[in-house]
Amino acid sequence: MQYKKFSTLLLQWHLNENKRQMPWKGERDPYKVWLSEIILQQTRVEQGWSYYERFIQKYPTITSLAKAADEKVFKLWEGLGYYTRCKNLLYTARWIEKNCRGRFPENYEEIIALKGVGSYTAAAIASFCFDLPHAVVDGNVFRVLSRVFGIDVAVDSTKGKKFFTEIAQKVLDKKTPGLFNQAIMDFGATVCKPAIPACAHCPLRSVCIAFKTGQANELPVKEKTLQKKTRWFNYLVMMANGKTFVRKRISKDIWQNLYEFYLVETDTNPHWTKESVSDFMKEQINYHQFEIINIITAIPQQLTHRYVKGYFIFLCLKNIPATLRTENLWINAERMSDLPFPAFINQNLEKKKIKPVLF
């Protein structure tokens, strides 16, 4: 695995291209970093931003927060929800004021022992403020590592969390851990996004396995996703040079070992249009020379424990994209007729008077 090259490219992107702005970014005061992390634990950055600024203005130090009246702090917190966070915030501020004379702990073990502080928050404070080599691991980090290194272990499983934490620690730049942690979090939030990541402009393309194999929309794998009652399967039926792109489903999911077209699974109905399909092809596949033949709403299929809905999007490409030149995945009609496809695909194409063997 190209850990070193990955870390180098990521830091280069962070220093030269990362424009993401947040008021706590680059902050080395552990009180301010801790406050921002507690606010953001179950809150979007856009919403937490103003709360953070109001808290810092009202309570600029941990001592001022520790001495504040409960009702005033709760009033300032109003609207953020999950009030246990606020209770823990006050408890910990007062504990530090009483037991550490208002000085925030400076090692990971003492930081993570604070009430309301988990491994992610502890790693953020330790690395940002004290340059300690502890990797932050959250959804953004899981997603980046899963795609770049082609890992299909479920990120929300006990095994997955342990595995990805170990990988995060290995790729962490030990000389500048805070800088690296900020880089990978920002990268996951702005480039390697959950839906339609900006693969076409990604500086990690040369080391990203998901990009090379066209699996960016299949990774990371989540156990909870596999248990959803309704799933949206959107198939891009791409034809080029008399061949059609197909791939084998190898993960432990429905239809394992059967074949399918290029899959984009979404949480809700994506309501595809020619414009959104075009944007997807350009951003995700990094390909511009194509014609959209048709967009068909799939006939839903009821399985034992789930309902499958989706779309079939037919595209004619001028040639096979460099990003999808995986061996044995572009096949002719004769070969396709020998492959097993899920009933969802066969039934839809047959009812629409379109059969895979015709491509």
CB 261 within 8 A of CB 273: no
- What's the CA gap between 250 and 213, in Å, rounded? 13
Residue type, 79: G
Query: Out of 17, 37, 106, 265, which one is annotated catalytic?
Result: 37
Quote the tokens at residue 113: 């022992």
Query: Is 306 within 8 Å of 254 (Cβ atoms)?
Result: yes
Question: CA-CA distance, 298 to 193, in Å (whole number)?
Answer: 26
Backbone φ and ψ for 260, nearest 5 degrees, come out as -155, 175
For residue 186, give the 3-state DSSP assignment.
helix
Is 37 known to be catalytic?
yes
Q: What are phi and psi of 230, to 5 degrees?
A: -120, 130
Cα separation, 68 vs 90, in Å, equals 9
The residue type found at 78 is E
In angstroms, rounded to a whole number, what is the distance separating the alpha carbons of residues 160 and 324?
27
Q: How far apart are CA 208 and CA 210, in angstroms?
A: 6
Cβ atoms 316, 287 nearer than 8 A: no
Q: Give the CA-trace dihedral at 42, 102, 33, 162, to 10 degrees.
A: -70
Q: Is 182:14 a contact under the CB 8 Å cutoff?
A: yes
For 280-305, letters b (16+ CB in 10 Å) and e give bbebbbbbeebebeebbebeebeeee
Q: Where are the alpha helices (DSSP H) in the chain?
A: 3-16, 30-40, 45-58, 62-66, 70-77, 84-99, 108-112, 119-130, 139-148, 158-171, 177-190, 209-213, 223-226, 274-284, 333-336, 343-351
Instruction: Enumerate the active-site residues.
Output: 37
